[in-house]
Homo-oligomer: A and B are copies of this chain.
Amino acid sequence: MSELRKDPVTGRWVIIASERAKRPQQRNVVDSSAEIEPCPFCAGNEALTPPEALAYRKTPAQPNSSGWSVRVVPNKYPALEPGAAWHADHDGLFEQMNGVGIHEVIIESPEHVTNMGSLSAEQMDLVLRAYQERLRRWRNDSRWQCLLIYKNQGERAGATLEHVHSQLVALPRVPKDIADKTASMLKHYASTGQCIYCELIQKEIERRERLVSSDEHFIVLCPFAPRFAYETWIVPRDHAPVFEYGSETDTIALARTLRETITRLNGALDNPPFNYVIHTSPFAERASRHYHWHMEIMPQLTRAAGFEWGSGTHINPVSPEAAARLLRDARI
């Protein structure tokens, strides 16, 4: 089992997961014909994954049989595992706990699709519903204080399997960066009476220069101070702290917006590797006036290096105004 350890100086947790060194690495994630190993995420290969936690099927069938359109399974090489009882150990400067948590994989298509932009809006909608269903499941479990959905597409974005998938992690502690960010939102609300994201999107709509697209549900923008070239955020127009309690209409709209945004990135940047993260309110909170859920899409075109790892300050060679211009003009 993995361990969570806290850096005594920075207060930042890390996960020491020795088991993950055994993960198979697909040799060639670009040319799928070069794969020799069968893909564990393809329909028909259900036996190659741990038993499913959720699957959407048009017609009822046995669990772990084919015929599904979206399937959720525990990660076979988990960074965190739910089995054991939680125990912490604090020896002077050294604080650690066993790696309890949830680590699931959302398989986004039964076919061997390798670019999320190729999914239909309907399929994208099913993927988002699967995210929401699993997040609701784990939000109701008092062991977890922080839930995160993320995606790695492309080898340069850290994907080890190319078949479209994303991941869910539930953590027993709120990571420092997320705690700091949440505290900052709370502070802004306490001092101004306004949600900082509500204020931000209002300003971005007025200025237009960093706006990529918008409809009555979502604002797509390149943020003022992006860490990554062509970083793009999707933010709900109306204040909402928790992604997984969005209405059906909202989710359909998000599927459309997400698909359109990935299509823009694919067109403008020739199918870039990217990560995305859905930030939904940490702690057990469902109602919060200060936390506004949002999605961050981070193309991985340059590499973090010594300066970034040493200072936490990113050097970004593309201004968000130039990025937004390119993405606005991209074909959808």
Contacts and interface: CB of A to CB of B under 8 A. Distances in A.
B306 A15 contact: no
Contacts of A16: 225, 316, 318-320
Contact of A311 (B6, B148, B314, B316): B148
Given A79-B315, A178-B312, A225 B12 contact: yes
A169 B305 CA distance: 13
A92 B306 contact: no
B7 A224 contact: yes
A270 to B, nearest CB: 16
Interface stretch (A66-74, A149-157, A261-269): A149-157
Contacts of A9: 181, 184-185, 196-197, 200
Contacts of A181: 9-10
Interface residues of A, number: 76
Contacts of A184: 9-11
Interface in A254-307: 275-277, 279, 296, 298, 303-307
Contacts of A313: 12-15, 171, 175-177
Contacts of A150: 305-307, 309-310
B92 A314 contact: no
A17 B17 CA distance: 36
Contacts of A10: 177, 180-181, 184
A312 B225 contact: no
Contacts of A226: 14
Contacts of A92: 203
A34 interface: no
Contacts of A304: 158, 304
25 contacts: A5-B224, A7-B224, A7-B225, A8-B225, A9-B181, A9-B184, A9-B196, A10-B177, A11-B180, A14-B225, A16-B225, A16-B320, A18-B317, A20-B317, A79-B307, A92-B203, A93-B199, A93-B224, A94-B224, A148-B307, A157-B306, A158-B303, A169-B311, A175-B311, A177-B313
Interface of A: 3, 5-21, 79, 92-94, 146, 148, 150-152, 156-159, 167, 169, 171, 175-178, 180-181, 184-185, 196-197, 199-200, 203, 223-227, 275-277, 279, 296, 298, 303-307, 309-320, 322
